[in-house]
Structure 1
Amino acid sequence: MIVQGFDPIADSDARILILGSMPGIASLEANQYYGHPRNAFWRIMGDVYGAGLKRPYAERTTILKEQGVAVWDVLKLCHREGSLDSNIKDEVPNDFERFFAHHPHIQRVVLNGGKASSSFERYVAPVFQELVVRSAPSTSPAYAAIRYEAKCERWRDALTAV
């Protein structure tokens, strides 16, 4: 099945860009980034920025934008059966030249998981080498190799460490 991602959550003055790979089925059905109820993304954003799941989605995205955080995916579209990143094929990256031209204050990119990291390295890093890039553990419920507390701490470091 062909899967197409969402438009970015971003204001023009964003300083941090969080990149995933491609929304899963639950996110696509909810029409929300990280829409799977067990995905730790919004729980982490709640702990770091106060943009947690107790707030409506629109309010969470507003809080992130107020904090200078943008959210997007490396991929614009791909072919994928199910929601696993390992099933992604025929990937097409988003237009990062245009994005960075409209968001010139981005200084840091935080990559959500391994597929986002490998796709970023393939499509984006060769062109935008001046960015500070940090990898964070996947917030996906499929990645349960570390406890939530450790995952959140690694995310906090990726978002804030100098």
Structure 2
Amino acid sequence: MTETGFPYSANRDAKVLILGSMPSRKSLAAAQYYAHPQNGFWPIMGELFGFDPSLAYEARLESLRANGIALWDVAYQCVRPGSLDSAIEMESVVANDFATFLAAHPHIRVIFFNGRKAEELFRRLVLPRLPAPLHDIERQLLPSTSPANASIRREQKLESWKIVRQALEIA
């Protein structure tokens, strides 16, 4: 079955972009980014940016936008039996339109990947199609906040994700 992701969440003056691969089945069912209760994304963002991760979904998105953070996924559509990134059928992936997005959000200076699959999809499907000047945007791989990435403790993930806040302080 082909799954379709969500629209991006961003203000025009966003300075960083956080990319996942494709929303999980739980996220798609809830129509919310990172809706799986064991996903560490919202608790980590709440700790880094001073908001309660149990806020209503729209309030959490607004907290990210207010801090200069855009949120999206690399895949617009894909076939994925189950929720794991490893199950994404690569030949089925249709990438989001990053050339248009980045042109409309010219202040983005760093793209952070929430896990290896997001980085791989971007490198294989998006980067070759981006106009040359957009290749200069810094890109940084972060450990996945997914509960499937259980080999890395939450404290370690939090420590790695602090670079997002640091990037915003510099930007």
Normalising by structure 1, we get a TM-score of 0.95
Counterparts of 1:35 and 1:77, CA distance in 2: 18
| Stretch moving more, 121-130 or 87-96 | 121-130
Residue in structure 1 matching 2:101, options 61, 81, 99: 99
Which deviations, in whole Å up to 9, do the C-alpha atoms of 1:19-68 show, x marking residues without a partner? 00000110011100000000000011011112442211111100100100
Counterparts of 1:102 and 1:117, CA distance in 2: 21
Amino acid at match of 1:145: S
Shift of 1:158: 4.5
Counterparts of 2:52 and 2:150, CA distance in 1: 20
Tell me, yes or no, if the aligned pair for 1:110 and 1:159 is still in contact at 8 Å.
no
Residue in structure 2 matching 1:150, options 140, 149, 156: 156
Shift of 1:159: 4.5
Residue aligning to 1:60 = 60
Tell me, yes or no, if the aligned pair for 1:32 and 1:57 is still in contact at 8 Å.
yes
Normalising by structure 2, we get a TM-score of 0.91
Residue in structure 2 matching 1:136, options 137, 142, 157: 142
Tell me, yes or no, if the aligned pair for 1:51 and 1:61 is still in contact at 8 Å.
no
Within-5 A mapping of 1:28-43? 28-43=28-43
Within-5 A mapping of 1:15-26? 15-26=15-26
1:17 aligns to what SS in structure 2?
strand
| Stretch moving more, 142-151 or 152-161 | 152-161
Tell me, yes or no, if the aligned pair for 1:51 and 1:64 is still in contact at 8 Å.
no
Between structures 1 and 2, the one with greater helix share? 2
* Pairing 1:121–2:127 present: no
RMSD: 1.2
2:121 aligns to what SS in structure 1?
helix
2:136 aligns to what SS in structure 1?
coil
* Pairing 1:72–2:72 present: yes
Shift of 1:17: 0.2
Amino acid at match of 2:37: P
Counterparts of 1:111 and 1:158, CA distance in 2: 11
2:127 aligns to what SS in structure 1?
coil
Which deviations, in whole Å up to 9, do the C-alpha atoms of 1:91-111 show, x marking residues without a partner? 010001110111111101000
Moved runs in structure 1, 4+ residues, more than 6 A?
none
Tell me, yes or no, if the aligned pair for 2:49 and 2:165 is still in contact at 8 Å.
no
